[in-house]
Structure formats: structure tokens, C-alpha cells
A and B are shown apart, each in its own frame.
Chain A
Amino acid sequence: MVCTLARPAGEPFLGGKDPPLVKNFTSSARPTLSNVFPTVMANFFPRWTNVLPFKIAICALSLAGGVVAAFTYYATPKTLVVGYQPAQPIPFSHRIHVEQVGLDCRYCHSFVDVAGHSNVPTSNTCWNCHQHVQKDSPKLQPLRDRMNEKHPDYGKPIEWVRIHKTPDYVYFNHAAHVNRGISCQSCHGRVDQMEVVYQDQNLSMGWCLECHREPEKHLRPLEEVYNLAYDPEKFLAENSIEGVKTTEDLGKKLKEQWQVKPPVSCAACHH
């Protein structure tokens, strides 16, 4: 590059042998790399190398951009955790218990509307029924071991694999939500239809804020909070409410009526 610029301006490059760039070697001039091998240096880099740095830069930028874009898109809760479906020590089917047996969420998750933490049932809760039902199912062996006084596992907890997890610095309170008309389904999906539970929503901060800014999209009558099969349109068809035509109208009405103003400041979840 330096060499090409050293060519006298305006003189066309004819190819082949370069016109001699004659230098006067005087005794006083100290020989340097450029004045000893002027023509050699000139031929060292072909002309296309002039744009090479730009090309490299563009490649690197687009590669970096691509990585960032890919990371932003894929390395988010949306892609990393949605669909997480680990195997559980007992292959418990919510579908069977809700759809066939007809249990309410709160039979097992009994403190969801009382405490911040939605409890996972104790072995005792399972045993209430399973000492009579499915007594010999091999799937329930871990439970029977824990209820069998002679077994070494007696009294130990069943180690359920945690699926829905917020970071330690996030304070989430179940009671605050279900008591104000937000259904289990809004965050956990149709658990009633899940054979094996998986994570349905991404639980990212952006996702939380979406609803905190527009709760009307998720509000439902308190009586329907634990009804995961709730269909607002069907509900509206069956119950005519004055001034409410669409499901969004219903949400807005509830928000207004119950004064639902979800906080969006940091301390709502971080303290």
C-alpha cells in the first residue's frame, strides 16, 4: 500500500514492469528498506489487497453481529428454558389427576393462595389416596418406600426436579397473583393437559413486565382462577355482563373494578 502510493500521481500503471522509480543514492542518504527495495516492495502485495482490510472488517462485523443476534435470540429464557421437561422421580401425570380424577390445583398445591411459595405436596398428601389406589403400580415405588417404616428411605422427601425457577434475586409471590385474578395458566400453561410437566412460558423479566403493564389481558373472575380450561369467550357467552363485549373488555372492567395496578418499579420484585 505504501509502495503504490509512492507512484508519481497521475501516471497510469501499465502492468508488467514498473517504470523505474529512480532514486539518487547519495552518500549522505542513509539506505532504508524503502529506498533499497522500492520496486520489490511495490510488487509484494497485489492490488486487490487494498480492499482486503475492509472485507475482513465487514466479515468480522457481520460474524460478530451474527453471533450477537444469534445469542440474543437463542440464548434467552424463551429458547433455553421453554419446553424444559425433565424426568421426575415419579412420572406423575397432571392430566390424569385433573382431567380424569378432577382434582383442584389446590388439593396438592394447598398454600398457593396463602403464601408466596406454591408448595409441592408432601408424601402424606399423595398417600391419602395412594394407600388405596394403584397400590401396586411400580411407578409409585419411590412413594411407597418413603411411607414404609422399614425402608431406609422412610420419611425422606421425594426429590422432584424443579422446572420453574426464578433467580435468587427475584421475589415472586404466588398469593399476590392468584388472589387478584391471575390464573395458574397464565404462567404455567395448560398443566391440566400435561402428561409430563414442562415449562410453558419463558419467565423472563420482559415477559413479567408485559403482563404488569397490561394485566387486562390475563385477568379473569376469581372463581375461574384455578379453572385451567377457562375460555373467556365461552364465559362471556354464558354470563352477559353489562358493557362487556370482548374478552379484553372483561379484563379492563376487572382491572378498573378491582383497582389492579401491578407495580413496575424494580422493588416490586427485587429487594
Chain B
Amino acid sequence: MSKRIWQHPELPADETTVSWRGVGQLENTPEFREWLEREFPRGAAEMADSEDAETSRRSFLKLMGASTALAGFGMAACRRPESHILPYAKAPEWVIPGKATYYASSFPRARGATPLVVTSFEGRPTKLGPNSLHPDQEGTDSFAQASVLDLYSPSRSTTVMHGGKPAKRADFDAVFAGLAKDGAAKIGLVFGHDDSPTRARLLKEIKGKFASSKAYAYEALEGEAVGLFGDGVRMVADFKVADRIVALDCDFAGTDFVGPVTPFFDRRKPEGKAYDKKADAASMNRLYAVETAFSITGGMADHRLRVKPSQVFAVAAALLAALGDTTSVAGAPAADDKTKEWVATLAKDLTAHRGRSMVVVGSRLPKAVHLVAALINARLDAIGEGKPLQAVATEATGLGSLTDLIADLNSGAIEHVMFFTPSNPAYDAPSDAGFATALAKAKTSIHFGPRRDATAHACTWHVPASHYLESWSDTRTATGAYTIVQPMILPLYADCAAELEVLSALLDPEGKLVTGEGEAGAPSPAMLAVRKTFEALAGTTVEAWKKLLRDGFLAGSKYAAATLSPTTDLATAVTALPKPGELEIVFATDHSVYDGRWIDNGWLQEAPDPLSKVSWDNVALIAPKTAQELGLYDETPTLETKTAAISEDGEGQNRKARIVAIKVGGTEMRIAVQIGFGQAEGTLYVPLGYGQGFNADDELGRETTNEAHVGQVGVNTGFNAYPLRTLAAGYYAALDGKPQDTDVRYSIACVQEHHSMYGRALAREISTVEDKKKGDFAHQLAGVKKQGMDSHMPPNVSLYKSVDPKGQPLLSDTVHQWGMAIDLSACSGCNACLVACQAENNIPIVGKQQLAKGREMHWIRMDRYFAQQKEDKDGDYLAMVPQPVACVQCEAAPCETVCPVNATVHTEDGLNAMAYNRCIGTRYCANNCPYKARRFNFFDYNKRNPLVADNLYWGPLGETQVGTAPHLQRNPNVSVRMRGVMEKCTYCVQRLKDARIRQKRRQKVESLGTGDSLAVTMDDEKLRIAVDSVKVACQEACPSEAISFGNLLDGEQSRMGRAKALERNYDLLNYIGTRPRTSYIARVKNPNPDMPDVKYVGKATIHMH
């Protein structure tokens, strides 16, 4: 088969949708097309500079000659190196060398733990997956997936610090024992917002022992709703029963968890979550989103209104008024006519679904919005048993806030303070809270944390905290199911202490801090404490305890219902609203570092932001029109051209963003800006959590005083926006004046144009509402396969017959043929799959410098498209469409035909396999891949530290991988690839193989059971694994169950088989004839036919030219 070059035709004139990824593409210059047509960005395949490139061949030969000569001296190395097998001295129970063990645990976090199953190899936890026994939630998010890396992080704190200098744990123990023995000590304990029954129980005992002790809860981005409706009362959403959902700046599918999110996505699939029903628009839910900038939830919305953050309250008030309550909110700012019409139609829809509709509010919005939303929800009868919202009473009661702590420290009511919070108050507390001065007044301040962050340095003592995979605890999910946190491994570093161990030690008469394991193998005091709590809940039987450890949760446990008793009245809350301004800034929660706590996690840092597609930094997003008005748009990145010298601005490694100076309340910060589409005009969207420390390598030469606060991953990343945040304006604020361009430019690693595909109808979208041109829902469903090129291309015809002369199918493996289907209707683009894949397949991070060149190694590329209807002139109703693309395992794979060494070939079961050890790195395959799904190891990212500037270019002289433990996270069943090797998704072939071997083993047990293995016959049915019994890493991690995977030979018994049989199912670039095994399922929007913007919804089919 010769290489076929496809000339994608121009977009037909009557196409109403304009789609793009970034500014450059929207402008659509010829240079941009040239960019698209390369499989790697320019520069990706070149030497560091042009001089290198000139001499590279010669120097290569020189080097080769020298090394061949040297090889002569090294003949001794030809002797076989002696390696050893080290068996256990005493075999631990359940551990089988070479076989993974799985334990249930959970990841504690504010607003509900994530139940997990941890994969461990010989005691090393390597991979986290969701606990499928748990009824609440499928999948995990990217933070949970990446949390395993923190256990082995080279930036992890390993030893005790005193006054910022390394100290001995024994010295700390002595100080601690002194505190614990003094019943009069005024101790303050600061926790996170996660709920732990054992902590709550121990706190009561501590209160008994230390009468003047106090407990607080603090997490930087938990917002104002905490405690608003009563001490420990929280609202939990149940999406199962929610037909109509209004999200008021609430990214519930992303960073703003309000309840298990899987049921929401179940109802985005018109055929039901198992794809076993006839497509029914009525079974779908409808999501209205009111927000400032696109969130991943907003991207899913059927109707989306973009408003300034200060306007969210006005919209909420207008909605309340439209629902009939015009008296509760006095003096609400009036909404404009367009908004009023939008809200009025929305109110009708909500009223029509009374009892099955709800309003969810972003947790960080001001109290006034929460109070108004509570009134709306009461009117909609949304709260209560069996209703979409429940008010629950958590055990996190009696906890003070950060302001209380500061007041108590200042007044001397608290003299000794211990921080267990995952946040970093010395860095992320509101700037006017006075945290630093208050902390300085404490006699003893002890920070327990995984990183030596700003708070660790500000406290007198820092003690490394055990990771949650190293310690005992318990916690509760969003609905209050009691779940266990059990250790997989003893703390890697002897100094580590866990929260419950410290609390137990406070209660110990001697104040002895026992961490990890008790003396002579006695159980950890934390475990004893947890068990005691559990026994009070479920009895003292060993069986119950064992069941808890096995299942990970206590079946049937949940929070008690609470009544809402607001602690603030609405009028006061309204006066406390931050002042609106001409330009407003939103302090957003970041998708990679959250509030800054994940800044040293390489996987999260490298995962591109779902909206801006920027890795390793935060950028201020600004709407295009506002940018034009402010004079920040005119210089759109000029793209490099083939002939001209590479210009300073551009894509790839030359992408530079302008730095602007912005001022809020007199405080100035400088930050890079980028155009944000679909964002409200007059707003600046700034993610928090970056800029924690810089060193001498910083591009902007910033102050290096905080260098010690971050590790190698987080240093020199992004801009710190926390100084602009105040107690009164923690979520948004009015900008002083206008952003000023500083003429400084800053390199940005943005992946939005890397490995970008082109072609027609890549992501397809339809609507449940009748359209003049496209017909009704049934017609649109039937038309999915005919969108784009497929409308006028003849069907693909294979020259090869699929059956032999006897009519038997020509399959080399008649037992398994793997396939996948990805439902765009449920994909929100949250990156969970991308990080899960990285954890499962030993994918390295490459660092900002390499990533900017387009050398990222992620096997899953999360494409994010914007689409605008031509009629929608102002771009008020843009659509954001995420589409994950990994290798689609073509049956007629273009990559295979061009590999000169047959390193990529087909397997019997239909995978497009990659033999890394055979690959010689010609990259022809990547060149020929229409999906651009292949990744090349330009350097030995696993052996050379990519985070040190220019380190990779030093080759063997460079610094090797840092830290003592990163290799421990590796999956032993996947090769660690080296330099010069191509790699890509292979459907987690190691998991498939494991499943097949398990099935064969089962057959063997049966055969031997008959007593005569010779008499046993096996057939395909017996050798086939059970239907849908194997899950690939991305599928497992997906919280929306958008990915179905299975055996094509199972037919429609398999969820994947049913998905592929849907009308919505289509093949990506079908007209090329590659016959991909991964197919996509078109996105369905379920708009309200009466809404003014309905004509713009459900048409975001993406064409890339």
C-alpha cells in the first residue's frame, strides 16, 4: 500500500458552524495550515540550535567512531553480569511475587472521599482505580489518579525541620511529649475540610484532656458556603433524580464537587447508561450553566449564559423573581433584557419539573448567592429525601475557621498550633487576614505536611506527613458512606507521621508519638483508633472489620438529614457582596494544582489545562473582544512559516504570551495572558496555586526567596494570584484600572495545536430539538454517520474478503477481538483518563521546555474545540467540545505499512502493537498516522531528569533522575521506554493479557478437576474471558463512563458492542478507510426548544481544515 495523501476539501458554503482550537486557527492563516500538516511541530525533531543541526551528522559519526574504539577496551563487559534473586525471608500474607494485589482504600478530601482500589506489586502501590463495589461513584478524577505519584515524589519532605533547618525526629518527639503531657496547653489543631469519624471522636477526647484546646478547619478554596446552613451542614446533590439542573458558576463535573457525578453523565446518554434502550430524549437531563469562563461543566451544558462573576447574583435573584418570589431579595442589581428572557424561560422549565429540578451553586460564590439558591431550591421543592438535593449533617462540627484561628492566636487563646490541613495558609490565606503575624505569636507551631511549603518554613517545626497510602484513617464519601483509608506500605521515610497517630499521641499519657508501626510489630495506634470508631458503628465482630477492609466501606452508612438554618440573613449577605467593576477578576480553582497543593506533582503539572491547554503555568484568560478593547489582542501569535525565519511569537517552543500588570485593591501582580473563548466580556480569569517559588533559572528573574518552598517540579511555574485575594473578595474582585501591557514576554507551553488532527466532522454533535435543516431527533440520529465527508463519499470497500471460501470468518483469533467506543455525550474533558494512562503505562513527564516543542508523551490527547454558529455574531453561545484521541487501533493501519523494521504490527486479537525493542526511531509511522496518536521519545526521559534546564542535552553527562523512589511507581508489566523509541496506546495490552491468562488458568483448574486432562475439550467460548470483565486504565478512571471497552466477538452482550451498534456511533476519519477499532459516539445536546438560544445549540460538529 503506498502512502495516500488526503486533500481535505474546503468547507461547504452552507456550513453554519465555525470551529477552532486556538486564536491562530481562528485567524486561519496559510502558515497555520502548514503547521497542521506536520506530524511534529517545527523544532520538535531538531537539535537545540541551528549550529548543532549543521554539524550533527559529523559529530554523530565522530562519536560513534570513538565509542566503537572504546568498546574494545570494555570487552570485560561482555561477561554476563551477575544478577541476584532475592526472595522474601518470611513470605508476607497474600503477596505473590509478580502478581498484583488489590486493596480497598479511599482518598480523603473535602466534600467527600473518593473510594479507591489500590493496585500493589510486592507491596508497592502503583495504580489507583475506583472501587467498583461502591454504589455512589464510578471512576475517579485526575487528582485522585495522580495522588499515587506524591507518595514517591522526589519533592516529598523526608525529614523533620526545626526553624527551617533539618532536625532530628527525637528532638521533635521530646518537644511534642512536653506539649502532650501539659493538660493546660492551649493547643490549636488545624485540619482540612475532609470528614473523618475517628478524628471527630479523638477530638472530643482531646477536648477532655486539653480543656483550652480548639480545632479549626481550613482549606484555601472551600469558599463561603461552609457552615452557612448550620454547623457541619452541607448540601449534596443526587443527579439520579435531577431532570433539570442549573449550575450557577458551579463546576460540579470538575473542581467543584457537589455530589457523585456519575449519575449526571448516565443521563447524558439518551440510550441509558448501559446503551440498552431506544434513544429517548425524555430520559436525558438538561443542564443550564451560568458562568464566567468555560468550565468543563459549562462545556457539557445545554444552555450556557456567560456573565461577569458579580452578575451571577443578579441572575440568581432574577430566577427567584421569575419563580414568583419578588420580595426576598431587596436591591438586587437588575439583569438586562436578554438575561431576563433567558431566565424567564428557564424558570418555566424548572417549574414544570418541580421536585426534579435543582440549582447548584459554586462553593466559592458569595453567601448571598447560596442563600438565594436555597430559596429557589425550596420553591422548586428540590431539597429532601428522594429529591435532587439533600442537606446532610456531617461530623465536621465545632471547627473554627481561619479567621477564628488568627483571632485566637492574636488574643493568646491559642499558644501552640498544629497544621494538618492539605492547604498552605502561609501562602494561600487571604492577603488581609494577617496570618503571618498571628502565626509568629504562637509559642510552638508544628506543620505536618507532605511538602516543605511556605507554611512548613513559617512554622517552628515541620514534620513530614505520611501519605494516605501509608497511614490508617477513615473518612466519608459525599453521601456519608463510611470508608476506610488503609495503608499499603509502611511510611517510606522514618520521620513521617500521620494525623491520627499524632492525635493518638496527644492522648497518650506519656505523649509518645508512635508512627508507622508500633513496637515489635504491634499495630499502629491510628489503626487501633480507627477500629474503635468502626466498632461503635458496626459492632465488634472480626467479620465486620474484615468486610470493611475488603470492601472498603460500610454498606448502608450515610449522613443523617439536616435542616437548613442559615447563620447569616440574606440582607447582610447582600451587603457583603464584593463590589462589581468594569473589569472583574475571577480567582479560579486550577485543574492541575487545585489550590496549589499539587504544584510538585509532575503528572498534574504536565496535564494540559482542559480550557486553556496550557501546561506548567497558569495564564490569565481574557475574552477576545475585551482583549481587543484593551489593546491586548492585536498581536495574536504570529505563526512560524516555512520560509521566513522563525518569528518570536508563534506556536510550539516560540509561543510567547504577553505579561500584563494588573491591580486589585492596590496590590499589583504580573501574569501572562491568553485569549479565552466563551468567556464573559470584561473579565479576567486567573487560576490560583502557582508561583510558589523561583530559582536562578527563572525566565523572568523573579525573587528567589521562596525557592525552598517548592521542589524541582513546581519551581518557576506560573504566577501567584493569592496576594490579590482578600477576606471580603475571595472569589472575584473588581480590577483597579486596566491591565497594563509590560512589554515583557513569557514562554508558554500550550499543547492546543500539538499533534492536531484535521479532517471533517471529527467530533459530531446533534440535538434532541427539531432543526429546519437537519430534521427531528430521529433524523439527526440517523444522520450522524453521514456527517462531514461521509455524506458524499462512497462506502469503503475492502479488496480483501472477510470470509474464507467455506464462509468462515478470516480472523486469526476467534476468541478475542478488542474494540472501544468513546461517548462524546458523556466526555467532559476532565483529564482523568490522561493521567490514569500515564500511571498505568509508565509514561514519563518531559518538562516545560520539551513540552513546548511538542514532545509531550501523553498517549491520550485531549482535544478541545470551540464552535460558533455564524448567526451568533457576538459569540455569546459558543460550544466547547472535548474529544480524547489515543491510538484508534486501525485494522488497516497506515503506520504499519511504513515501518521499515516491522516494529509496529498487528496482533491476532486486533491490536496495533508496538515492539519497543524493535523500533529504530525512523518516525515514519508517526508521519503516516492520520490521528497523530504516536509519541516519540526524543530523549531518555526516564533516566535523565527533564526538569533541570537543558539537562537532556547533556546526554550521559546530564543529571540522572532525581529522588530515591520514582521508579517504585512503575508498572512492572510495561516496558520503560528509552530514547529513540516510538510509543502509543496499545489498549493496555498488559491488562488484556493478564485477563486471558487468568481465564486459561481457570480452565486448567477445571480440567484437572475432572481427573483426566486428556478428556477435556476447550473451545472459544471457554477460553473467552467473561463479558466486560477487563477494563482498560482510561475506561476505569472515567467518572462519566464515556469509554466502553470490550471484546467485539461478544457482540451486543458487551456494553462496547451495544455502543458500537448505536446510531450515534461513527468512525473518526472513516473516509480514509483505516477501519479504526475505536469509534466515537456523537454528542447529544438536549436544549429547551423555548429558549432564545436554542438555534445555536447542538450543532457543534467540528471541522478542522
> Does A117 reach chain B (CB closer than 8 Å)?
yes
Q: Are B97 and A117 in contact (CB under 8 A)?
A: yes
In chain A, residues 180-204, which have Cβ atoms closer than 8 Å to a Cβ of chain B? Answer: 180-181
Given A124-B91, A179-B1001, A111-B975 contact (CB < 8 Å): no
B85 surroundings in chain A (CB, below 8 A) = 120, 159-162
- Return chain B residues, CB-CB under 8 Å to A84: 80
CB-defined contacts of B1018 to chain A, threshold 8 Å = 257-259
A65 at the interface (CB under 8 A from B): no
**B1013 beta carbon closer than 8 Å to chain A:** yes
Min Cβ gap A89→B in Å is: 9
- For B90, list chain A residues within 8 Å (CB): 122-124, 155
B1004-A179 in contact (CB<8A)? yes
| Binary flags per residue of A91-114, CB closer than 8 Å to B gives 1, else 0 | 000000000000000000001011
- Which residues of chain B are near A173, meaning CB under 8 Å? 993, 997
CB-contact partner of B87 in A120, A180, A257, under 8 A: A120
Query: CB-defined interface of A149-177 with B at 8 Å, one 1/0 digit per residue?
Result: 00000011111111001011101010110
Given contacts A258-B1016, A265-B905, A266-B905, contact A117 B98 (CB under 8 A): yes
Q: Are B88 and A171 in contact (CB under 8 A)?
A: no
Docked complex: B683-709 residues within 8 A CB-CB of A: none
Contact partners of A254 in chain B: CB under 8 A? 1014
Of B137-145, B492-500, B865-873, B913-921, the stretch lying at the interface with chain A is: B913-921
Check A267 against B986 for contact (C-beta < 8 Å).
yes
B207 lies within 8 A of chain A by Cβ: no
Q: Are B918 and A175 in contact, with the CB atoms below 8 A?
A: no
Q: Is chain A's interface secondary structure helix, strand, loop, or mixed overall?
A: loop
A122 neighbours in B (Cβ, 8 Å): 87-91
Contact at A161–B99, with CB atoms within 8 Å? no
B573 at the interface (CB under 8 A from A): no
Decide if B89 touches A180 in the complex (CB within 8 Å): no
Contacts of B1000 in A (CB 8 A): 176, 179-180
**Most chain B C-beta atoms within 10 Å of own C-beta, residue among A173, A253, A254:** A173
Q: Cα distance A160–B974 when bound, in Å? A: 25
Q: How far is the CB of A227 from chain B (nearest CB, A)?
A: 13
Asked if B911 is an interface residue, CB under 8 A from chain A, the answer is yes
Interface string of B985-1005 (1 = CB under 8 A from A): 010011001000100110110
| A159 & B96 in contact (Cβ 8 Å cutoff) | no
Partner of B1013, one of A162, A221, A265, A266: A221
Residues of chain A lying within 8 A (CB to CB) of residue B976 = 168
Q: Is the CB of B80 within 8 A of A267?
A: no
B1013 closest partner in A (C-beta): A222
Question: What is the size category of the interface that chain B forms with chain A?
Answer: 35 or more
Q: Which residues of A contact B1017 (CB under 8 A)?
A: 257-258
**Cβ-defined contact, B1020 with A160, below 8 A:** no
Is there a chain A Cβ closer than 8 Å to B634's Cβ? no
- In chain B, positions 534-593 with a C-beta closer than 8 Å to chain A are none
* Minimum CB–CB distance for B124 against chain A, Å: 14
Does A146 interact with chain B (Cβ within 8 Å)? Answer: yes
Report how far A162 CA is from B86 CA in the complex, Å: 9
Q: Which residues of B have CB within 8 Å of A169?
A: 916-917, 975
- CB contact between B917 and one of A121, A223, A263, A270 (< 8 Å): that residue: A270
A241 within 8 A of B: yes
A268 in the interface, Cβ–Cβ < 8 Å? yes
**A158 contact from B87, B99, B918, B1014, Cβ within 8 A:** B87
- Convert B878-895 into 0s and 1s, putting 1 for each residue whose CB lies closer than 8 angstroms to a CB of A: 000000000000000000
Q: Is there an interface contact between B997 and A111, defined as CB atoms closer than 8 Å? A: no
| CA–CA, A113 and B98, complex, Å | 12
With A180-B1000, A221-B1013, A267-B986: A168-B975 Cβ-Cβ less than 8 Å: yes
CB distance from A152 to the nearest CB of B (A): 13
Q: Are B990 and A271 in contact (CB under 8 A)?
A: yes
Residues of B within 8 A of A (CB): 80, 82-91, 96-99, 813, 815, 903, 905-908, 911, 913-918, 973-976, 986, 989-990, 993, 997, 1000-1001, 1003-1004, 1007-1008, 1012-1014, 1016-1020, 1023
Which residues of A are interface residues toward B (Cβ below 8 A)? 80-81, 84, 86, 111, 113-117, 119-125, 146, 155-162, 165, 167-169, 171, 173, 175-176, 179-181, 221-223, 239, 241, 253-254, 257-259, 261, 263, 265-268, 270-271
